[in-house]
Structure 1
Amino acid sequence: MAFVPAPGYQPTYNPTLPYNKPIPGGLSVGMSVYIQGVASEHMKRFSVNFAVGQGPGSDIAFHFNPRFDGWDKVVFNSQQGGQWGSEEKKRSMPFRKGSPFELVFMVLAEHYKVVINGNPFYEFGHRLPVQMVTHLQVDGDLELQSINFIGGQPASDQTPMVTPAYPDLGQNYNPPLNSLPTMEGPPTFNPPVPFTGRLQGGLTARKTIIVKGYVPPTGKSFAINFKVWSSGDVALHINPRLSEDIVVRNSYLNGSWGSEEKKLTYNPFGRGLFFDLSIRCGIDRFKVYGNGQHLFDFSHRLPAFQRVDTVEIEGDVTLSYVQM
């Protein structure tokens, strides 16, 4: 079964460079763009452009341009009618050659907010209306792992099913019953660990939980638990163990652990790496995807999975985004 993104969550994995593609539904306030990648060992510069059109002469509403040039800095600008505007710069380099990074652009009413590896970095005021931006362009000395568009408006041929990417902005839509899969509640950015989130109304079939995070270089183990708060039962326990390079799955029912499942064809969890996890609840199983690839299925051991009302995340992990 192919990976189907949750509504309002449009991922592209391992895109090639140069990347120059439409933003699903166009750019809008409340949308966030997540870029995960690795800076080249020989990085000199790369750029991210929020462009008005796809062609080489298109206006650029926001040009983000890190430069390793002896005066390491990040340059911010815009381009209209073939002319660059006034340059803004920050003499700080948050990227390290040969190291993975997570770059987030939050589109707010007054500006683009840039967050790098979980830390706010810069705010660039709008010079062109957000609604004019149609394409995202990425090029330069880097390797892309994923580009995710979260929130905003769906493409014109889709029924609106979006939860805003920024909790303080926009309106919630009521997804139609036939939408696949569904997510409810506002997302949480950079939540502390241990994390505890409540599933309003319990776990339902077709619900998807998204977890984006980072495993620190010294990480040993962390866990994601789908739990019944009142009884302490755990319907699904996901436990990446970094020192053993395995991902253990299990359940904890009626006071005892079940049999462990470990078979895996692909492991997205590694020390010093970012991951993008999608956990979908089906009628008879959980289906779990990492960085867009199917990781494993876990058959329901708690038949009344609707009783699951809590998601817990603990251990050696830094969270950047949780959508429930």
Structure 2
Amino acid sequence: MHLLHLVLSVKNADTATKTSFKKSKQRAFEPGASLHGNLVQEGFAGWSQRQSVFSQHHGSETSTPHRALSGMEDQDKKENEEYTGEIKGGMRPSMKLVIMGIVNKKPKSIEVTLSSKPEQEEAEADVGLQLKVNFSEKAVQRNACMGGKWGPSENTLSFFPFAPGEAFKMEIVCEHQQFRILVDGQPLCGFTHRHAQLASLTALRVFGDLQLTKVA
């Protein structure tokens, strides 16, 4: 009896170990998980994130995460990362969006847009704010698109805060008259509202040469 009890105990322990390992593998690829680390996403009804690394390892549960968020030798070989999210209720005064990430080692551009959802799929969405970081020119261009027509671009900056391989925190503050943009807590620029219906700006898109770590 003692021998039978010991054999059953070993089998039960082995089954529990396999079950625990299976659950841990399933958790590794839950929605919202980034292969660079955990992408924290808050305040958005629907969102998606696409990365070239995911396509390279798609279907493989044995893929391992990167060791760190920066300093990777293959960073410049990756395609641009893209994030899209729905802003509940649209933009409104006193609302703030936070975007945190790490710039790639050999960046060309990063783009952030706030846009409306078109009534028809073939229609072009209005863009209330487009921020385009141009690393070769060390510029941050701001613009808006209404009815399919882009207005004049604004480029004035007090400083250029982005650097290859460095982390950053961008804040977009919606005020009554303008969007105010801060980077790492320092005022960067402003953009006077050209889109009268702020509440219709329900889509946030972040695209470019970066690794996102948080969107809130």
Q: Is TM (by shorter chain) over 0.5? A: yes
1:212 pairs, out of 97, 100, 111, with: 100
CA contact (8 A) 2:40 2:213 kept: no
Give yes or no for contact 2:44–2:86 (8 Å, CA) kept in 1: no
Q: Measure how far apart 1:119 and its partner are.
A: 3.7
Moved over 2 A (4+): 117-120, 183-186, 190-193
Look up the match of 1:321: 214
The offset of 1:315, in angstroms, is 1.7
Measured against aligned partners, the alpha-carbon deviations of 1:28-78 in whole angstroms (never above 9, x if no partner) come to: xxxxxxxxxxxxxxxxxxxxxxxxxxxxxxxxxxxxxxxxxxxxxxxxxxx
Say which of 134, 149, 160 aligns to 1:241: 134
2:163 matched residue in structure 1 = 270
Match of 2:113 among 216, 221, 225: 225
Aligned alpha-carbon RMSD (Å): 2.8
Compute the TM-score of the two structures, normalised by the length of structure 1: 0.42
Q: Distance in 2 between matches of 1:261 and 1:319?
A: 25
Kindly indicate whether the alpha-carbon contact (under 8 Å) linking 1:287 and 1:298 is maintained by their aligned counterparts in 2: yes
Q: Distance in 1 between matches of 2:40 and 2:201?
A: 26
Structure 2: stretches of 5+ with no match in the other structure: 1-34, 52-80, 119-123
Cα distance in 2 between the residues matched to 1:226 and 1:286: 11
What TM-score do you get using the length of structure 2 for normalisation? Answer: 0.62
Residue 280, structure 1, aligned to residue 168, structure 2:
no
Alignment coverage as a number of residue pairs: 149
Which protein, 1 or 2, shows the higher relative CO under an 8 Å CA cutoff with sep ≥ 6? 2
Aligned to 1:103: none
**Whole-angstrom CA distance in 2 between matches of 1:234 and 1:253:** 7
8 Å contact from structure 1 (residues 223, 238) kept in 2 = yes
Q: Please say if residues 191 and 320 of structure 1, whose CA atoms lie closer than 8 Å, have aligned partners that are also in contact.
A: no
Aligned-residue offset at 1:257: 1.2
How far, CA to CA, are the matches of 1:250 and 1:311 in structure 2? 15
In structure 1, list runs of 5 or more residues that go unmatched. Answer: 1-116, 121-164, 168-182
**2:26 maps to what in 1?**
none
Q: Which residue in the other structure is 1:306 paired with?
A: 199
Counting strand residues as a fraction of each chain, which structure ranks higher?
1
| Cα drift, residue 233 of structure 1 | 0.8
Aligned to 1:203: 91
Q: 1:290 to 1:166 in 2, by over 3 A?
A: closer
Q: Does the 8 A contact of 2:37 with 2:213 survive in 1?
A: no
Cα distance per residue 1:199-238 (max 9 Å; x no partner): 0111121110000011111110120000112151110000
Distance 1:282 1:262 in 2: 20
Q: Relative to structure 1, is the Cα distance of residues 279 and 191 closer, same or farther in structure 2, using a 3 angstrom cutoff?
A: farther
* In 1, Cα distance between equivalents of 2:117 and 2:162: 27
Asked which structure has the greater CA Rg, the reply is: 2
